[in-house]
Amino acid sequence: MRLTVDIDPESGFCYGVIRAISRAEDYLASHQHLRSLGAIVHNSLELDRLRARGLEIIGLEDMERLPAGEVVLIRAHGEPPQTYQTARRLGLELIDCTCPAVLQLQGKVRETFARMEAIGGQVIIFGKRGHAEVNGLVGQTGGQAKVVGGVEDIEGIDFDRPIALFSQTTKDPEEYRLLAEQIRSRARSSVDVYDTICRRVSQRYNSLKEFAVSHSVVLFVSGRDSSNGKVLYDLCHQANPRCHLVEQISDIVPQWFREGDTVGICGATSTPKWQLEEAAARTASMQTIC
């Protein structure tokens, strides 16, 4: 069987994840361990690699048990103000790796909430409930922002009050546009819609659809816990029904391929380049199996 295998040049870690992992590796180069508040990346294989170097994943409740002076890494997703208050109270040192785009968004949400509160308005965040980035954004409003996961959630919005609408940085731009349209059509007061989806994520939607349709088979490499991975995999699968989700290279089986297939390898913003390369090598080796 002959296969042509291509790796999507746009796939792989986003800048925020690259920056967080790089800072973790730099610290671990001269220290035995480092604690990360939450998973630094939603990719089990990459986490295993970092754990082997001394990274430990902890939760908010674990911070209370750490001795003063302990170092804790804040991942790219960001954290609400309460986390920083807790760290100061406990005397913990932070390596803050909040993505600059997320940090800017947090500031905008905080400023807008103060303005909306003064006029009886509300802040609505389009995102995944419980996601670390969304928790950080809601925290900028003292827990007052309403989170909607899609059009099906807008019934709980008070359309008589002014609305400021934001999006989690990794959401689908088209889904956000449709949500904004629905809210505007029902609003009986002002609606301000902020363009807060990460530029790289936004641009990837069109390029990924083009990549998916230009190959007969697509392997989307991603951790199953990645919010961005789920969204982008669904996008690929809609563009090409012969799209398969791959978490580990052992998931790849010869039955997916036919003689003469062109295979595209792509992934989420939480997928490392080395994993894409392993998937490509595994697929190429199947030419001698089938």
- The span from the CA of 87 to the CA of 89, in Å, is 5
**Which one of the listed residues 46, 133, 247, 278 is annotated catalytic?**
133
**pLDDT tens, residue by residue, 256-287:** 999 889 999 999 888 999 999 999 999 988 75
**pLDDT tens, residue by residue, 80-111:** 999 999 999 999 999 999 999 999 999 999 99
Active site residue 70: no
- Which CATH class for the 101-198 domain? alpha beta
Nearest CA among 243, 172, 181, 167 for reference residue 211: 243
- Whether 288 shows a pLDDT value over 80: the answer reads no
- The span from the CA of 131 to the CA of 117, in Å, is 24
Q: What is the CATH number of domain 15-98?
A: 3.40.50.11270
**pLDDT tens, residue by residue, 111-122:** 999 999 999 999
- Whether 238 shows a pLDDT value over 70: the answer reads yes
**pLDDT tens, residue by residue, 8-31:** 999 988 889 999 999 999 999 999
- The span from the CA of 132 to the CA of 29, in Å, is 27
* Mean pLDDT value of segment 41-64: 94
Tokens of 21: 């992992």
Residues of the chain with CATH 3.40.50.11270: 15-98
Q: What is the reported pLDDT for 3?
A: 84
The residue written with tokens 């804040």 in the block is 74
**Sign for the pseudo-dihedral over CA of 180, 183, 185, 188:** negative
- Whether 290 shows a pLDDT value over 50: the answer reads no
**pLDDT tens, residue by residue, 130-186:** 999 999 999 999 999 999 999 999 998 999 999 999 999 988 889 999 999 999 999
- Percent of the residues in the chain that have a pLDDT greater than 70, as a whole number: 98
**pLDDT tens, residue by residue, 182-235:** 999 999 999 999 999 988 778 888 899 999 999 999 999 998 888 788 889 999
Q: What is the CATH number of domain 4-12+200-288?
A: 3.40.1010.20
Residues of the chain with CATH 3.40.1010.20: 4-12+200-288, 101-198
